[in-house]
Amino acid sequence: MTAPLKVKLAGMLEVVYPALDCDFLAEQLLKTMGLAPNQAPPPPHQNNWDESDVVLITYADTLRQEGEKPLVTLHRFLDEHLRDVISAVHILPFFPYSSDDGFAVMDYLAVNESHGTWEDIERIAGDFKLMADLVINHMSARSRWFENFRKRVDPGKDYFFEASPKDDLSAVVRPRTSPLLNPVQTEDGERYVWCTFSEDQVDLNFANPQVLIEFAGIIRSYLEHGVRLFRLDAVAFLWKEPGTPCIHLQQTHELIKILRLLIEHHTPESVIITETNVPNRENLTYFGNANEAHIIYNFSLPPLLINTLVTGNCRHLKTWLMSMPPAQMGTTYLNFIASHDGVGLRPTDGLLDDAEKQRLINTMESFGGKVSYRRAADGRDQPYEINIALYDALKGTAEGGADHWQLSRFLCAHTIMLALEGIPAFYIHSLLATENDYERMENTGRLRSINRSQWQLDTLKETLADPLSHHSKAFSELKRLIAIRRRQPAFHPNATQFTLHLGLQIFGFWRQSMRRDQSIFCIHNISSELQEIALSDINLIGTDHWVDLISGLAIEDLAGSITLKPYQCVWLSNRA
């Protein structure tokens, strides 16, 4: 018999807060969330997604129109251009903020007035599944909570994590080169606050259970405004203990379980996504036993896929794919190859050697990219991410430089992403094939701004209406490929996947629907040369009729072969 919700919650809280009255804390959390102590759980291992799910990632103000709030402009663009293309939209932090393009939140419960209102958010949530960021690790140094921390009053007095410069912090894993501890003058003297990312982003103190209760209230508010997918930003750093790496600590995993328990009891179709830009094996731990994240980002995919396409060699991508465990029912991967951040290099640890990483970095720099660094435990600065627009990242090869295959290479990358196990997510600037924005980068002084352009809506519409522009060509073809994908049961995020071995210039895998009524052989020429494949090597079943879903061409002679042009892809299906 399943334990009542309060009993289960109290047991989980005891792992994090063994010295506290966890029965009382459980009561407070349930009251804050509006849940009954004996509320029934949702069905276990439930997939809240299918093959029709496709996510768009965008800032609230990426699209702008004179005299109109950006959230209104975004909604109109979604309605006019993407209503039958995407199922969900991830609007990056739309709250009042002081830095980092939204990730230094000043007020979790307000919409940035320059973007729009909660009513605008709710209207988008009425037409698409809405993903929002729960910026849970840190908060703005200009927030009311932090001002109260300085004044030594509540709420906020004990909401931020403090440490001493005398503490042993040598093992702490850093994603940045900025100081970890920053001195702050308060009403009762100088205190040192923990800043994982920047001086303006002060880490919250979840050792104080009141912070957890505050976030339960924030989550409930988001649910009531229509949010159904919660992206837990930088969650791997949530719990700190000097003398440890302060990443992936057990209390962090337990807190994710607690948040999931609360969220899915409130709204069973809601989903938690953990944002953990770390090496692949570490990333996989956030599935837990199908009781932590419903979805994890496939952080190794962007650098490995870019590396594959600029080297014309899929060995590392294939090795990685073979090592990836099938996600349990009720969990899956979020596949992306570009985002508002850079192309992470830590997820390649153990997958690319140092020389291969450096070759990738050199290639991206030759295509206009920049490199951000992090401070390693030995005190040295190491490459952390490559900042570049995906369209420019794929403008050529490592050996030959820029060439005329840029658009084909770019489309090949997305075709691979669309077919992989998991849910595909498109950063809006990839869907639009936006190039490096050097002007914005210079204006902000931040390398990540190279891939955070803003489009005037009228200009964008004119560009997309021009059939000769690469933006129009990419947008039209990507929408066509998405439409094909959304009709295929074999592309369900949890459908079977096996890696094919077709040489180093052909990247292939097989998908089979959960009812076993459809097979799709996904085959991609990742080189700039023609490639011929004997159909006997693919092992197509002779009694079935096979068709390439992308071109519509039927396969008549199973004893013959197919020739793939540079970067051409085929989805061979026994069900048209």
340 is in an annotated binding site: yes
Our CA angle for 100, 104, 192, nearest 5°, is 115
The contacts of residue 50 (CB under 8 Å, 6+ apart) are: 492, 493
Instruction: Using alpha carbons, list the distances in angstroms from residue 461 to 73, 239, 457, 467.
Output: 12, 46, 6, 12
266 is in an annotated binding site: no
200 catalytic? Reply is no
100 is in an annotated binding site: yes
Report the largest interatomic distance among the alpha carbons of the chain, rounded to a whole angstrom.
82
| Contact call for residues 546 and 572 (beta carbons, < 8 A) | yes
Q: Retrieve residue 550's tokens.
A: 């992308």
228 is in an annotated binding site: no
Cβ burial 513-552 (10 Å sphere, 16+ → b, else e): beeeebbbbbbbbbbbeebebebeebebeeeeebbbbbee
| Contact call for residues 261 and 9 (beta carbons, < 8 A) | yes
341 is in an annotated binding site: yes
The contacts of residue 102 (CB under 8 Å, 6+ apart) are: 59, 92, 93, 94, 95, 112, 133
Distance of CA 94 to the CA centre of its chain: 17
Q: Retrieve residue 272's tokens.
A: 């938690």
225 is in an annotated binding site: no
Q: Catalytic one among 120, 233, 392, 437?
A: 233
d(CA 225, CA 481): 32
Strand segments, DSSP code E, in 220-340 are 227-232, 271-274, 295-297, 332-335
480 is in an annotated binding site: no
| Residue 556 burial class via C-beta count within 10 angstroms: exposed 0-12, middle 13-18, buried 19 and up | exposed
Catalytic residue list: 233
Binding-site entries: 100, 138, 231-233, 340-341, 448
Binding-site entries for substrate: 100, 138, 231-233, 340-341, 448
